[in-house]
Structure 1
């Protein structure tokens, strides 16, 4: 009887160890989740301070202008706030986000990309209480239009223009344009300036009046004429004897130009998702007027390890067509939504809450 009792109650040492390990693992996992939530709240708290300086990931420069939120002069930095300052409290943070007049952020992808490239930014912005929307431009992402049929910037930008047309009269949005998507943002600013609260150019073609998006890439790709005659990546959708309709870099070129600092999983996603780039829209000169385009608030985000649009070219764009504010992301390739998503997120939130 005693032996049976012992046999029934005595546990295998391995089972005891396994059970203890599970309990310890569960506690460790809960602690990690709590720590992660705390860090996330602290990061949001820091991001929502207008005078915050994010060391090591970005810097900002504001140009003089006619709004009270602008700083005069060149490079500026501001004092860091203590994490116990106002927005470390979740309720206060939520109340502050509720007070933002414009929480809708429309994300416009660059050449060859689609709405899919913003998946990290969408998740982060939603967690911050903002309302992001990513659009597929015509012939991009999952849009079924043949890219060879997209010949004008108006056609390419139609999903964005349709979105703005359907906005309620009293609503405004923040536009974010990546790379050639910046030309679509500029086009939209000329069409519907009253519906755009702010325009953010992310390593983008922030062109001047009568300039072509392609001209911005001339240093990397050569003149438009040379590119049209010599490039090996051109696509002749209407036949070899007709002018080219688009282009697409091979995978190794794309990796070197766009993704050399990006995680391998994101590069793999891009390799199966990138689509040909319609040639007509980037060869079209934009007509931008001071009365429309010139009334919108513009901000530029520079990527400082960019192989597709070099930091020097980005600096030239900012110098020739000065925006209200300039932000910089260190260590980012041409796809900061992959390579530096947190740094990009902090800047987007900071710009969103500039009054």
Structure 2
């Protein structure tokens, strides 16, 4: 056997082992849930990496996000905001499970889905995300560090579609501060993409307190990925959420800003694959 033939056989055997390991997983189907202001578009690198590795991937546009044609100011509840994700999970076949991945405010949406569809979710992965306890809102979580995060406070622009004498209907982010807040380690091309693609964040869902039970939400395996160079949800706040509601395992993406799908796409991909392979002890 020639060296070239040996090399070809070794490569084939490695690919075979990789294929077998993928097929042997509880699920190889990822569902990606974007954060506040983002859309399915932000996952383009993650989608490509996972699909190249043999995984099935769906990225969801939540109501009024990405290309979903709905006025953000008109979203009055978390139920309404999460509806595209709930509809997707509802349509899964009997016995079909997915790995739900949530970023930022998408963490609260993933938690909401875990409570509704625990049997359809094999694992939940929170990436720099709102991982709340029952009775807590995303606003409650953010208020823990509101006084210390001047950048976040400066970047927020409240929108009042119902008049200035009424509560805010949405939150926009100052485009001039986007890079420092969300993308301080990300490539300029991705910052440019985000600056023309991001939409306002509906305010009512941010105020809504989650109702999470041990029977439903608590039955789903949870994993958290920390982003240490994060200026939007600082590491101290991420650690506070982890300590208050401990997941099965915590990972840290060294050098990542708030948006690891841009700043550390390959490292994020490796972590997601690793999490997909973690079996019950």
TM-score strictly above 0.5: yes
* Map of 2:59 onto structure 1: 134
The count of residues paired between Structure 1 and Structure 2 equals 268
* Map of 2:23 onto structure 1: 98
Q: Distance in 1 between matches of 2:24 and 2:92?
A: 20
Q: Distance in 2 between matches of 1:321 and 1:252?
A: 34
| Structural RMSD (CA) | 2.1
Tell me the secondary structure at the aligned position of residue 221 of structure 1: coil
TM-score by length of 1: 0.72
Q: Is the Cα contact below 8 Å between 2:155 and 2:177 reproduced in 1?
A: no
**Structure 1 pair 194–135 and aligned structure 2 pair: CA distance change class (3 A):** same
Match of residue 166, structure 2, among 239, 242, 249: 242
Q: Distance in 2 between matches of 1:245 and 1:155?
A: 14
Match of residue 123, structure 1, among 24, 48, 53: 48
User: CA-to-partner distance for each residue in 1:151-183, whole Å, 9 max, x for gaps?
Assistant: 111001001100111011110100000000000
TM-score by length of 2: 0.91
Q: Is the Cα contact below 8 Å between 1:177 and 1:201 reproduced in 2?
A: yes
Q: Distance in 2 between matches of 1:280 and 1:222?
A: 22
Q: Distance in 2 between matches of 1:118 and 1:102?
A: 20
Tell me the secondary structure at the aligned position of residue 247 of structure 2: coil
By how many angstroms is 1:254 displaced? 1.7
**Structure 1 pair 290–263 and aligned structure 2 pair: CA distance change class (3 A):** same
Match of residue 140, structure 2, among 208, 215, 223: 215
Unaligned stretches of 5+ residues in structure 1: 1-37, 39-83
* Map of 1:274 onto structure 2: 198
Q: Is the Cα contact below 8 Å between 1:220 and 1:308 reproduced in 2?
A: no
* Map of 1:294 onto structure 2: 218
After superposing on structure 2, the runs of 4+ consecutive aligned residues of structure 1 that deviate more than 3 Å are 219-223
Q: Is the Cα contact below 8 Å between 1:87 and 1:93 reproduced in 2?
A: no
Q: Distance in 2 between matches of 1:190 and 1:146?
A: 26
Tell me the secondary structure at the aligned position of residue 174 of structure 1: strand
* Map of 1:145 onto structure 2: 70
Whichever of the two has the greater Rg, that structure is 1
